Amino acid sequence: STYPEKQYAVRCIKLGAAGYLNKSAHPDEMIAAVRKVAAGGLYVSAITAEALASAVFKGAGSHASRNATESLSHREHQVYRLLTTGMSVGEIGAQLGLASNTVSTYRQRILEKTGTNNDVALALYAERHAKSSDL
């Protein structure tokens, strides 16, 4: 995007973008970002991650308990850990021996319990809570 990251990145990610990268990014960063997203992962620059973290932290208290991961079932916790590493639903299903639809159901429950609305927000949530809980 040519727009300032802090102004538009949060909105784009909330709307479901798999990543956000400013047009002024270094070509190597652009290539890495495209490869990561093409492989089913998520990508945001450090500036975007900071803006997203700020947005998530502002809303975390109103959407979820301080440590919502405690309410996850064993299987939800497994899926949560894999989602936060950037694995796709299909990759998680293959690793855990589950159908993609089943993993998607677990993913939706995890998003609801953590008060997040996409995988990037979930990864930021996980990073924030990693210090206060055992992932």
pLDDT at 16: 77
pLDDT of residue 52: 73
Q: What pLDDT does 62 receive?
A: 46
8 Å CB contact between 20 and 1: yes
pLDDT per residue over 16-36, tens digit each?
788 888 878 889 999 998 998
Q: Residue type for 74, please?
A: H
* pLDDT lower than 50: segments of the chain: 2, 62-65, 133-135
**5-130 is classed in which CATH architecture?**
Orthogonal Bundle (1.10)
User: Does the predicted model carry a pTM greater than 0.75?
Assistant: no
Residue 134 has what pLDDT? Answer: 45
Cα 110 vs. chain centroid, distance in angstroms?
11
Give the CA distances from residue 63 to residues 25, 50, 135, in Å, rounded to whole numbers and listed in that order.
33, 19, 20
Q: Where are the domains of the chain?
A: 5-130
